[in-house]
Amino acid sequence: MKCCYCGYGESKVVDSRPAEEGSSIRRRRECLKCGKRFTTYEIIETLPLVIVKKDKSRQAYDRNKLVTGIVRACEKRPVPMAVIENLVDEIEAEMHNSLDREITSVKIGELVMDKLKDIDQVAYVRFASVYRQFRDINTFMDELTKLLKNEK
């Protein structure tokens, strides 16, 4: 960190503490050349995620939409809200770790289905029926057959 008094490029951190409700870190530094102290703030840089829909349109990622879709699939099922929140956290972590700023809705749907399959199979089938737009009973049965095969 460059000293704001003499411009020297080396300093040591004297004190470090959270600031602004934990969204940044306040650091007191001391210049190794002139000895003067100054304060710096570090913030976490978050890049917005953009979702590419099936029709190629783009929109900003909205956590609430993801939560709502999963809650709807888990309706009247024994899935606690804490489990759903953890599921969404895991999906968001995977999206951020992919380093892609644009993620397809197809990819998000597949992530949700992979994780729901392990949590609640009825919720998985509900989500899959909407996500994959089952047109008739045969496509629904095909999905159930796949699920049963994987269970054995």
38 token code pair? 């100054």
**Amino acid occupying residue 92:** E
> Which tens digit of pLDDT belongs to each residue from 106-150?
899 989 988 998 898 889 888 887 777 766 677 777 777 877 777
Burial class from Cβ neighbours inside 10 Å (0-12, 13-18, 19+) for residue 70 reads buried
Question: For 57-100, what is each residue's pLDDT tens digit?
Answer: 999 999 999 999 999 999 999 999 999 999 999 998 888 888 78
User: Which of the four pLDDT bands, split at 50, 70 and 90, describes residue 152?
Assistant: low
pTM of the model as a whole: 0.62
